[in-house]
Amino acid sequence: MEKRILVVEDNDLNRKLFCDILTANGFSVEPASDGNMVIEKARGFKPDLVIMDINLPNISGLDLISALKKDRTLSATPVLAVTAYAGTGDEERIREAGAEGYLSKPVSISPFLSAVRKFFA
């Protein structure tokens, strides 16, 4: 069965790139650009992994990760944070919010796919 990945990214080019790469590698993908719709989309799509941008308009990716981890139907779903925030302490804060993985942007295709595949090994 195809693994399902919810891609939360407000940048159109990044979202399309991530979705295209994942689809080409056999994953079923659902894009989300509006952080306010993420929990609802995740409940309907039932992803095996959430790829989460941290810098989103209207709501922080950190807040969304926390909300996913507090939702009884989504709490076990792993989160891979992919973010331009790569300063001192940022990875720690992202992991404390509940993310199981972390990649800093810009990200190349090979490291991106490697990070995703680790969740399905």
pLDDT tens, position by position, 45-92: 999 999 999 999 889 999 999 999 999 999 999 999 998 876 778 889
Q: What is the pLDDT of residue 89?
A: 83
The secondary structure of the chain as a DSSP string is ---EEEEE-SSHHHHHHHHHHHHHTT-EEEEE--GGGHHHHHHHH--SEEEE-S--SSS-HHHHHHHHHHSTTTTTS-EEEEES--STTHHHHHHHHT-SEEEESS--HHHHHHHHHHTT-
Instruction: Report the pLDDT value the prediction gives residue 66, as an integer from 0 to 100.
Output: 97
State residue 84's pLDDT score. 85
Domains annotated for the chain, with CATH where assigned, are: 4-118 (3.40.50.2300)
Q: pLDDT for 20-53, tens place per residue? A: 999 999 999 999 999 899 999 999 999 999 999 9
Q: N- to C-terminal Cα distance for the chain? A: 14
105 or 29, greater pLDDT? 29
User: Has residue 1 got a pLDDT over 80?
Assistant: no
- Please give the helix or strand (H or E) that residue 102 lies within, else none: strand 101-104
pTM of the model: 0.95
